[in-house]
Amino acid sequence: MTEPNAIKPVSEFVWPVRVYWEDTDAGGVVYHAQYLNFFERARTEWLRSRNIHQSRIAAEEGIVFAIRRMQLDWLLPARLDDVLNVSVHSVSTGAARLSFSQSMVRREDNALLASAEVMAVCLDARQFKPIKMPEHIRTEIENVQ
């Protein structure tokens, strides 16, 4: 029996990203803060693949997601021209939160470069106060394969 709100493995969702000059420091190594952007793109595209479009729910329902907590582990550097596979591989929900487990690997050699544990909260877009996640969003997230 699965406990409520437990981290649930999902069919791994992979979002490819190529490293450009703008992503790197003077040595051609991906600047540490850029990893946040890469992980964000994968989460956003995972939500989009579940028919959860953040711009639409903000405009139509007055709901936004904001990052509450993030833990990253940088293991190996990504470099200029690398193609990275950024994945979402487990997700859990709470009344007003989403938690994601993610990883980033270099496609060429499948080396694990970074991993992330991310918690987002559902907020009222006007007041920026936590609100209960709408049931239709929770259903889309919890019905992952």
Domains and CATH numbers, the chain: 8-142 (3.10.129.10)
- Give me the residue label for tokens 């990203």: 17
Q: What does the pLDDT profile of the chain (145 residues) look like in tens digits?
A: 344 455 555 567 999 999 999 999 999 999 999 999 999 999 999 999 999 999 999 999 999 999 999 999 999 999 999 999 999 988 888 999 999 999 999 999 999 999 999 999 999 999 999 999 999 998 888 876 4
**Strand spans (E) along the chain:** 8-18, 63-74, 83-93, 97-106, 111-124
Torsion of CA 5, 7, 9, 14, to 10 degrees: 110
Catalytic residue annotation = 25
**Cβ–Cβ under 8 Å, residues 80 and 17:** no
pTM over 0.85: yes
Angstrom distance (rounded) from CA 128 to CA 136: 21
- Residue 36: DSSP 8-state: H
